[in-house]
């Protein structure tokens, strides 16, 4: 008899965390593993951000803050939306959390009744379906294909809406595919949503600043202002400012929902660290050069990955338009046999084979609701990316 309840038994630990922990353990044991599993920016947090945190400690900013975050941080968030997204919010319409992840969890907890439906285009970020399940909702997974750039089409959206639909979760630039919706594509989705006023949009814009080839990732609310009263925009400092460990994310949306999220925060985590909040103010109000360099350097890494993987027979993928992942289909390798005699029957088998055979850690596509594929993170330096693609090539050639 287990003490763990049915709700929690129905979820799994995030696959990205599991593979990444395993890869770190192998490195610690002396294996030459290249870990391209977790979504971790490579550069250190910018110096002026670290200095702001040190100054906050020395100034005694070490006590509880408001649940929604300090007024100064919320003003910085409001200024960010005005400056970068052409969206005006009041500080009551934004709140700060312990990373973007718990804010999504709280938004779903605050809004879903039993069996309410949440539309999640696949491939999706690993945590969405489990968070929906934990909130008593039903994840309605809508597959997309590489042929339409892994983007949700207006027709597929229309077909998946029912009277029970509560949310559409839209993530652009996307983890795990890098797909980045254009303003026309957002407009077309907006046209459908305008016909269904009961559907809310959770717009996950965490990779907003990491769009390539001169493209700009646009918020659906900027393109379709009529959705503003039923959209929650999620963003944060983790990916753009190389601040994953500081745990600061933020949302903007209707005050009623923001208040509900704050009520949940106040009864659980209270707020994120006061020191991290001071750092996030420096990031949001500070110079943009770090973000620009970070994006340009990721674009070079993306190019190194694309060049390397194109040479590998059996793999196919679309060039990522943003974020720092490529989503690679391996249909051509299923059914093949590894040198030790094991057969590759799934993407989990393939990821295990890559790790064992050539010490490269990637995440199987099943974790993102799309198989047989794998997600590979290209945040590592170009020479590491090139070495990894060489190893993948060798591993694929050894399959019979």
Which residues are at the interface with ligand PLP (CB under 6 A)? 39, 99-101, 125, 171, 175, 204, 206, 236, 238, 244, 249
Closest residue (Cβ) to ligand PLP? 99
Tell me how far, at minimum, the Cβ of 176 lies from ligand PLP, in Å.
8
- Enumerate residues 6+ apart whose C-beta is below 8 A from 173: 179, 180, 207, 208, 210, 211, 217, 320, 321, 322, 323
| C-beta of residue 234 within 8 angstroms of C-beta of residue 202 | yes
Nearer to ligand PLP, 189 or 242 (CB): 242
Compare residues 317 and 325 and give the one whose CB is closer to ligand PLP: 325
SS3 assignment, position 167 = strand
Q: 3-class SS at 97? A: strand
Q: In sequence order, what are the beta bridge partners of 364?
A: 374
Output the smallest distance, CB 134 to ligand PLP, in A: 16
Q: How far is the CB of 45 from ligand PLP (least distance, A)?
A: 13
Q: Kindly state the smallest distance separating residue 20's Cβ from ligand PLP, in Å.
A: 11
Cis before 173? omega within 30 = yes
302 Cβ neighbours under 8 A, 6+ residues apart: 178, 212, 319, 320, 324, 326, 378
Is 119 within 8 Å of 165 (Cβ atoms)? yes
Angle between helices 347-358 and 382-397 (to 10 degrees): 110
Instruction: Quote the least distance from Cβ 394 to ligand PLP, whole Å.
Output: 29
Using the minimum distance from each CB to ligand PLP, give the nearer residue, 252 or 358. 252
- Would you say 236 or 308 has its CB closer to ligand PLP? 236
Q: Which is closer to ligand PLP, CB of 171 or CB of 218?
A: 171
Q: 257: which residues sit within 8 A by CB, 6+ positions away?
A: 107, 110, 111, 232
Q: How far is the CB of 235 from ligand PLP (least distance, A)?
A: 9
In whole angstroms, what is the distance from residue 301 CA to residue 236 CA? 23
CA 64 to chain centre: 29
User: Whole-number minimum distance, CB 40 to ligand PLP, in Å?
Assistant: 9
**Nearer to ligand PLP (CB atom), residue 87 or residue 206:** 206
- Closest to ligand PLP by CB, 284 or 399: 284
Q: Which is nearer to ligand PLP, 15 or 344 (CB)?
A: 15
CB of 173 to ligand PLP, least distance (A): 9
Tell me the HSE value of 282 on the side-chain side, using a 13 A CA sphere.
Answer: 21
């Amino acid at each position: 008899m287990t003490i763990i309840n049915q709700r929690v038994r129905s979820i799994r630990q995030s696959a990205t965390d599991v593979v990444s922990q395993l890869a770190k353990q192998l490195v610690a044991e002396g294996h030459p593993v290249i870990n391209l599993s977790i979504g971790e920016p490579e550069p250190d947090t910018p110096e002026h951000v670290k200095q702001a945190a040190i100054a906050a400690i020395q100034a005694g900013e070490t006590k509880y803050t408001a649940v929604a975050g300090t007024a100064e941080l919320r003003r910085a968030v409001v200024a960010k939306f005005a400056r970068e997204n052409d969206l005006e919010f009041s500080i009551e319409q934004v709140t700060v959390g312990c990373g973007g992840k718990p804010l999504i969890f709280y938004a779903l907890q605050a809004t879903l009744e039993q069996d309410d439906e949440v539309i999640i285009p696949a491939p999706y970020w690993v945590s969405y379906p489990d968070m929906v399940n934990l909130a008593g909702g039903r994840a309605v997974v809508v597959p997309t294909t590489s042929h339409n750039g892994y983007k949700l089409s207006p027709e597929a959206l229309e077909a998946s809406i029912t009277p029970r639909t509560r949310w559409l979760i839209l993530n652009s630039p996307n983890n795990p595919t890098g797909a980045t919706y254009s303003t026309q594509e957002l407009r077309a989705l907006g046209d459908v949503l305008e016909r269904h006023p009961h559907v809310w949009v959770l717009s996950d814009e965490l990779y907003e600043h990491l769009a390539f080839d001169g493209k700009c990732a646009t918020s659906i609310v900027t393109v379709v202002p009529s959705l503003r009263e039923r959209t929650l925009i999620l963003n944060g400092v983790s990916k753009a400012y190389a601040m994953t460990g500081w745990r600061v994310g933020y949302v903007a949306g209707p005050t009623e929902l923001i208040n509900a999220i704050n009520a949940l925060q106040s009864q659980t985590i209270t707020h994120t660290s006061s020191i991290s909040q001071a750092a996030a103010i420096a990031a949001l109000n500070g110079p943009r050069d770090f973000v620009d360099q970070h994006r340009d350097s990721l674009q070079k890494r993306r190019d190194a990955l694309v060049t390397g993987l194109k040479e590998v027979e059996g793999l196919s993928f679309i060039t990522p338009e943003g974020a720092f992942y490529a989503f690679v289909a391996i249909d051509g390798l299923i059914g093949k046999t590894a040198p030790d005699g094991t057969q590759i029957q799934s993407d989990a088998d393939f990821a295990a084979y890559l790790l064992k055979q050539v010490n490269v850690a990637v995440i199987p596509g099943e974790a993102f609701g799309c198989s047989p594929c794998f997600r590979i993170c290209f945040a590592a330096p170009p020479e590491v990316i090139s070495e990894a693609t060489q190893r993948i090539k060798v591993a694929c050639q050894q399959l019979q």
